[in-house]
Structure 1
């Protein structure tokens, strides 16, 4: 360590901690649904957003899940090729691609959601009463605009 650098505790730096924990939590669940269903993290995020939104486009998902547009597009293309969703060009704005689940996609989501819920229940057991405080803090951070 260099003596000319300011003192800095990386392990106590909240953005670093949140990033590491988010990665680990996401990866833990992703390993399970990749093994069982052959889908990736971006595909899961697209699938669940399409399934639980009234009308959703690639652009909407990209903004919501903070993934690059190319990753969302590739995930949607793979899900379409696998028969889990359909793409439809918006008649009023040809730049927008609307996504909808197929029956096969709904069936997959019906299998995956209980796994995600069970994963969250395990997390809740680990955190105990601190889960409520974590949820409140995350809600604040997710809506904060001026950080």
Structure 2
């Protein structure tokens, strides 16, 4: 059976996403000394407001360990604050501080600039094709139930 990893679509999609992500990460790492998990946590809180660590993990597809480290780092930078849930003390709500909201605003401006850079690199036709392809994949896979093996 012939199999070439470099032509396997999931592998190619992952490689492309990683290249795009690394290039953006280099920008915010240099400017803010921020890791990707920190960026994802900050972006989730900035976009959606108060969340729990579990909600951040679900929103960003990050493992709870990475979320925990990111939350701790953002708290040490004083960009995030924790508050205990009034009804259940086991739950902590996370919010951006005023400094965190300021950094989030700067990061969004940086993200828009990066998105425009990618658009220039791809050109109008390339960007349109990429967006159409991604929308097709997202729609097709969202509708498809997960395939289960014979023992499931």
With normalisation by structure 1, the TM-score equals: 0.87
Instruction: Tell me, in whole angstroms, the C-alpha distance in 2 between the residues paired with 1:90 and 1:11.
Output: 48
Stretches of 4+ aligned residues off by more than 3 angstroms: 141-145
Query: Which among 90, 93, 101 is matched to residue 106 of structure 1?
Result: 101
Residues 38-47 or 126-135, more deviating = 126-135
Shift in alpha-carbon separation, 1:138–1:94, aligned structure 2, 3 A? farther
Instruction: Tell me, in whole angstroms, the C-alpha distance in 2 between the residues paired with 1:107 and 1:70.
Output: 26
Q: Secondary structure at the match of 1:86?
A: strand
Query: Which among 43, 53, 56 is matched to residue 38 of structure 2?
Result: 43
Query: Which among 37, 42, 52 is matched to residue 47 of structure 2?
Result: 52
Query: Which among 10, 16, 21 is matched to residue 16 of structure 2?
Result: 21
Instruction: Tell me, in whole angstroms, the C-alpha distance in 1 between the residues paired with 2:75 and 2:141.
Output: 30
* Alignment of structure 1 residues 112-127 onto 2, 5 Å: 112-125=107-120, 126=122, 127=126
Instruction: Tell me, in whole angstroms, the C-alpha distance in 2 between the residues paired with 1:141 and 1:41.
Output: 28
> Number of residues paired by the alignment?
142
Q: Secondary structure at the match of 1:129?
A: helix
Unaligned 5+ segments in structure 2 are: 148-152
Unaligned 5+ segments in structure 1 are: 1-5
> Counterpart in 2 of 1:96?
91
CA deviation string 1:49-90 (max 9, x = no partner): 011114311001111111110110110111011010101222
Shift in alpha-carbon separation, 1:115–1:32, aligned structure 2, 3 A? same
> What's the Cα RMSD here?
1.8
Residues 85-94 or 112-121, more deviating = 85-94
Contact 1:57–1:97 (8 Å) recurs in 2: yes
Contact 1:124–1:131 (8 Å) recurs in 2: no
Contact 2:79–2:99 (8 Å) recurs in 1: yes
Contact 1:59–1:96 (8 Å) recurs in 2: no
Residues 15-24 or 128-137, more deviating = 128-137
